Amino acid sequence: MEAIEDAIYVILIFILPIWLFLHYRLKTAQAKNGLSKEEREQVAQLTEQAERLQRRVESLEIILDESLPDWRARQ
């Protein structure tokens, strides 16, 4: 039983503080760098997709304006 208590003390005194320090140092470094390369690529892809969808909506609105001039009043 005493060996278990000693192991717990070693973990609490030495291992846990080092682990916490390294963990939060990594988190801070990641926060300073902002998004990762993969996340930036994903944001760029999503932005491009959103722009394409916006152009589609605008095209559809133009078509609707020409074929049904009062379609906006129905909303």
Q: Does one domain contain both 50 and 66?
A: yes
Number of structural domains in the chain: 2
Query: Which residue range is the domain that position 9 belongs to?
Result: 1-34
For residue 36, give every residue at least 6 positions away whose Cβ sits within 8 Å of its Cβ, in sequence order, or none.
30
Residues 20, 47 share a domain: no
Distance CA 14, CA 9 (A): 8
**11-23 residue pLDDT tens:** 888 888 898 999 9
Rounded-to-integer distance, Cα 35 and Cα 13, Å: 34
User: Would the pTM count as exceeding 0.85?
Assistant: no
Same domain, 40 and 26: no
Residues 59 and 71 in one domain: yes
The answer to whether residues 39 and 75 belong to one domain is: yes
Please tell me whether residues 42 and 72 are part of one structural domain.
Answer: yes
CA distance 15 to 21: 10
Same domain for 21 and 52? no
Tens digit of each residue's pLDDT (9 = 90 or more) over 7-53:
888 888 888 889 899 998 888 877 777 777 898 899 999 999 999 99
